[in-house]
Each structure stands twice: as C-alpha cells, then as structure tokens.
Amino acid sequence: MPVSLDEYETAQKYMVVELQEQYTTSTEGVEILENRPFEDNHFGKGHYTSKIYRFQSKMPSWVTAFAPRDALVLHEEAWNAYPRCKSVIKCPRFSKLILSIETVHVADNGQSENVHRLTKDQLASRKVEVLDIASSARDHWSYLVGRCDTDLSNFRSKRTGRGPLLDRWREHCYPVMTAYKLVTVDAPYWGFGKQMEQALLAGERALFLETHRTCFAWIDQWYGMTQHQLNELERQYYSSRSKERECIRPSPREVKDGLERACSLDSEEALADVNSIQSTAACRLTVLTHDRR
C-alpha cells in the first residue's frame, strides 16, 4: 500500500469496522463477544478481541454436505499489539481444527527474511508466497470473501495522489510497508483433513488480498483520521452491535457456553483420527506506496 506503518494502522482499524458493518446481518456476519485492552510478557500492551463469525452461505458445498449449516461458525481470538498481531481461529464443530495467523508489519518492500524468527526445521517446511495487491488475478475464493471491484492499476487517490499501481511499483514507491503473515493450519481428520487445510489456506490467501486491496481503494475515506475519530467509530459500532445482540441474540456468556457444548459434541466421534497433517505458509503481503517517479 502507499502507506507508512502509522498510516496502515489507521487504515486497518477503519477497514475492520467498515467491513464488519457491511457484512453483518441478522443471520450472518460478525459478533463481538469481548473487546478490551491486554498486556502480557509476549506482546506487551495491545488490544484483545473475541469474535464469532457466521458465514455459512460462503462455505464450500463439500463442507455443508456433512456438517449442519448452523454449526459452521468460527470463533476467533485476536491479540493486536501493532506492529505485531496474532489470531487463532477455531471451529466448535471440528474441535481439533486450529488456524493460527501471526503478522509482523515492517516498513520495507517485502525483502526481509525470517521476520518471524523461525527455527531451521520450520524454515525448511514453510512455503513462501508473495501476495501483490496490484495483481489482477482472482479465483473462486475472491468472490466468496468479498471482491474489491476497484482496478488499482487505474486508481489514483484524490487526497494523497498515490497510485496507480503499475508494473514493478514496489521498486519506485515511498513509503512502502509489508505485512508478513505466518499462517499455520492443522486439521487432523482422516479422509478430508488435507482438503480442509488447502481450502482454509486458499480462503485466507484471498482474504488477505481482497481486504488489502479494499484498504487502499478506501484511502480517501480513512486518510487523516485521528485516533479519537477511530476510537469513536469503533465505540459506535460495538455499541450498536451490542444493543442488537441484546435484542435478538443470546448473551456472550450463553454464546460461550454454547461453544463449549458444541465442542463437547466433538464431530470426531464419527471420524477416524488416523494422522495429523500440518502445513505452514509464510505470506508476504506487500501494499502500494507513493510513486516518486
């Protein structure tokens, strides 16, 4: 993106609230269970959120063939200590499934090596992909997660003059930053575990690209926003969602209890746990910056 690290933090906060508002309805979308500051020895100070994602209509047909649609919900715990973040996503219906995403944001054009400080064994098993938001490539998952319709090769910000994103833009732009994402997925299910892992990785890849394309396409909306304005935007959103949930949804405590009960049902009872398949992908997502030519 044609942004600095500070600008990206603003863009990310704005985008998360707007996309949650856009894709949340009375039956699907995002439900916030917990939203609070945190501090620990690993990340330091940051913000913790616990969310429920209900996007049953976007699930692949091969998943809905053997799992009830109302059971296909995801529970995410996220620790945002920008420029470092971590998310852990689980599915109560498949309690052994774990998807972990660790992100380090760096002010470079994607050339840093091993920012996650992986061991030699981890480096040997990882797969590195460079995801460029200027790419016009789209696939099935791009449409499922919500496609960005802005053509960034023709887009120029009115407020900043940044863009368009042309060939080799990363070599000529300043400032520039990269989101280094380490994605680890483990679905230890015999018969369909590998297929589930590949589907999750494909979905996350499309999500990274489309959300960051949108993030840049919306630059004229979020550019220049103050921390106070962002906090107020978040407060209004969380407040409105909380009121709606009180009217039409069970309480957060009831939802958590429901998740625990769902986990205790354990879909593995009908599945033979033969072996565990684990794969790791380090994704370098480089975003556009100001072209100095």
**Full-model pTM:** 0.80
Q: Six-digit token pair at 118? A: 């992986």
pLDDT > 50? residue 279: no
Confidence at residue 245, expressed as pLDDT on a 0 to 100 scale: 61
More confident residue, 196 or 224: 224
Rounded to an integer, the average pLDDT of 168-196 is 92
Confidence at residue 239, expressed as pLDDT on a 0 to 100 scale: 80
Confidence at residue 178, expressed as pLDDT on a 0 to 100 scale: 96
Mean pLDDT of the chain: 81
- Residue 84 one-letter amino acid: R
Q: Which helix (H) or strand (E) holds 178?
A: strand 177-186
Rounded to an integer, the average pLDDT of 208-232 is 95
Q: Are 138 and 147 in contact (CB under 8 A)?
A: yes
CB burial readout 200-225, b (16+ within 10 A) else e: bbbbbbbbbbbbbbbbbbbbeebbeb
Cis peptide before 188 (omega within 30 of 0): no
- Per-residue model confidence as pLDDT tens digits over 116-166: 999 999 999 999 999 999 988 777 777 667 778 899 999 999 999 999 999
- Which phi and psi angles does 86 have, rounded to 5°? -145, 140
User: How many beta carbons lie within 10 A of that of residue 137, not counting itself?
Assistant: 8
Confidence at residue 255, expressed as pLDDT on a 0 to 100 scale: 46
Confidence at residue 70, expressed as pLDDT on a 0 to 100 scale: 59
Confidence at residue 246, expressed as pLDDT on a 0 to 100 scale: 59
- Per-residue model confidence as pLDDT tens digits over 192-214: 889 889 988 988 998 999 999 99
Q: Which helix (H) or strand (E) holds 230?
A: helix 227-248
- Residue 153 one-letter amino acid: S
pLDDT > 80? residue 32: yes
Q: Which helix (H) or strand (E) holds 88?
A: strand 84-91
pLDDT > 50? residue 240: yes
Confidence at residue 257, expressed as pLDDT on a 0 to 100 scale: 56
More confident residue, 268 or 101: 101
Q: Six-digit token pair at 130? A: 């460079």
Confidence at residue 93, expressed as pLDDT on a 0 to 100 scale: 84
Q: Are 249 and 139 in contact (CB under 8 A)?
A: no
C-alpha to C-alpha distance for 222 and 227, rounded to whole angstroms: 11
Could you tell me the CA-to-CA distances from 130 to 111, 135, 175, 224, 237 in Å, in that order?
10, 11, 19, 29, 33
